Amino acid sequence: MHDKTLTQLAAAMSAGELSSVELTHLMLQRIAAQDAALNSFVSVTEEAALAQAKVADERRAAGDAGPLTGIPIAHKDIFCTQDVLTSCGSRMLENFIAPYDATVVANLQAAGAVMLGKTNMDEFAMGSSNETSYFGPVRNPWDTETVPGGSSGGSAAAVAARLCVAATGTDTGGSIRQPAALTGITGLKPTYGRCSRWGMVAFASSLDQAGPMTRSAEDAALMLAGMAGFDERDSTSAQRPVDDYAAALSNPVKGVRIGVVQEFMGEGLAAGVASSVTAALDELRRLGAEIVEVSLPNAGLSVPAYYVVAPAECSSNLARFDGVRYGHRCADPSDLEDLYKRSRSEGFGPEVKRRIMIGTYALSAGYYDAYYLKAQKVRQLIAKDFRQAFEQCDVIASPTTPDTAFRLGDKADDPVSMYLQDIYTIAVNLAGLPALSIPAPASGGMPVGLQLIGEVFDEARLLNVAHQLQSVTDWHQQAPAGFE
């Protein structure tokens, strides 16, 4: 049953063909047998998972069940989970046991989902390859010598390898979509404010957004409905009802205008990825969609703008990790300054330190106007480009990544090359828009992602277009060898 989608498994449980306890047992066995090759989980909550599965079966027997009731999922280790390790992939929090559940976690638990454990990630969500984790790199199940992408690489690898039915991720500059593309799954970054950030450890507060990582768009629709909603504890949470995403999936795409970003289809894009994306667009054309060309003239500025805004916000957010209240504390500090310096030096890894230093510099006196303020102005130009593009189309399409998964260690000593892996995804976060990545035809045996971008709170249309494409193709059904 591990090869079935969330939607199929929910139907099987509704029909009495399968229990949550049986399915949870199966997933726990797969994790125990196969995750050593991937390192996708930081912790596995076996006892709690089986207890939750038993409750889910009781709810279903009592007629109190929804589509997520009894479904075994995993949470990225950036979400606080009561009485369970929440490490953010960092030594700084290697012993932190959260005293409460993040809103996203609580929402999914209320929907009846079963938590199998917490997934590995780039330290504090800073990375594009899942190589910066204190707990070691995650490996791509399609080729364990390659990266799964980051920072939600643990969630992506676990879903792709069929170790869980679905997982949560977070996306600050592409951290759901990029690993989804590199591992051949569906990953959705909702509109900023659609899912609560309360209890999600902050990296860059104006960019971070939680979202689902699943096998299909149909599954993502069910997960998003369970995750989303207004939260009065989050000042950035949107006060609007949650759409019925599943109801919109069956709408035909005939007449939908899909704008292809011309700046993203040229220099820097691998030929194999370009061919795969073109093949996916051809399928949408056959379904009746109208393919048009659109321009995002300031998209090339998204990477430099992002790598001023995000580090600036991270330097502020991570100031709380000082060795005083919680987190790593150095041994025998001589005074308060020594406590701060050594606790942070020992607790943070190289990439986190790099971004804290960049951000602190950008916010410092004499440089704030030259860097941070200018980056925010560029951010507004990028958002304006999207608004103008949507006057010509309903959905924007592009590659998710410039190439397929690269080998572990290939970019470890070249931060700029690593940052450019998010060149097609970052602009979406700067503009606060929803976007998803779905599998296109593989290139050289490795997954390729097609990115679809929507207008604010238009997740239903994105999921509809993605579902219609997946209804006539099988790219999203492919499984990595050894994990079928």
Which token pair is 302?
């998204």
Rounded alpha-carbon distances, angstroms, from residue 407 to 147, 325, 404, 411? 6, 39, 10, 8
Answer for the pair 187, 213: CB distance below 8 angstroms, yes or no.
yes
Two structure tokens written together for 198: 């309360």
Q: Got the DSSP string for 20-88? A: HHHHHHHHHHHHHHHGGGT--EEEE-HHHHHHHHHHHHHHHHTT---TTTT-EEEEETTB-BTTBB--T
- Report whether 218 contacts 466 (CB < 8 A): no
Listed residue (261, 267, 264) closest to 295, CA to CA? 261
Please tell me what DSSP assigns to residue 421.
G
Catalytic residue among 19, 175, 276, 343, which? 175
Give 59-78 as a DSSP string. Answer: HHHTT---TTTT-EEEEETT
Task: List the catalytic residue out of 151, 155, 216, 276.
Answer: 151
Max alpha carbon distance in the chain (Å)? 70
364 neighbors 420 (Cβ within 8 angstroms): no
Starting at the earlier edge strand, list the strands of the sheet with 166-170. Answer: 41-44, 114-119, 72-76, 166-170, 210-214, 186-189, 435-443, 446-453, 395-399, 257-261, 290-294
Local structure of residue 146 (DSSP, 8 states):
B
Out of 19, 40, 43, 76, the active site residue is 76
d(Cα 101, Cα 20) in Å, to the nearest integer?
Answer: 22
- Report the C-alpha gap between 228 and 231 in whole angstroms: 9
Helices 302-317 and 374-389, packing angle to 10 deg: 130
Q: Structure tokens of 68? A: 């997520």
> Residue 244: what are its φ and ψ, rounded to 5°?
-85, 85
Taking a C-beta distance cutoff of 8 angstroms, is the pair 225, 434 a contact?
Answer: no
Positive or negative: CA dihedral 302, 304, 309, 314: positive
Q: Which residues contact 252 (CB under 8 A, 6 or more apart)?
A: 287, 288, 468
- The question of whether 76 is a catalytic residue gets the answer yes
Q: CB of 202 within 8 A of CB of 208?
A: yes
Nearest to 139 by CA among 128, 125, 124, 149: 149
Catalytic residue numbers read 76, 151, 175
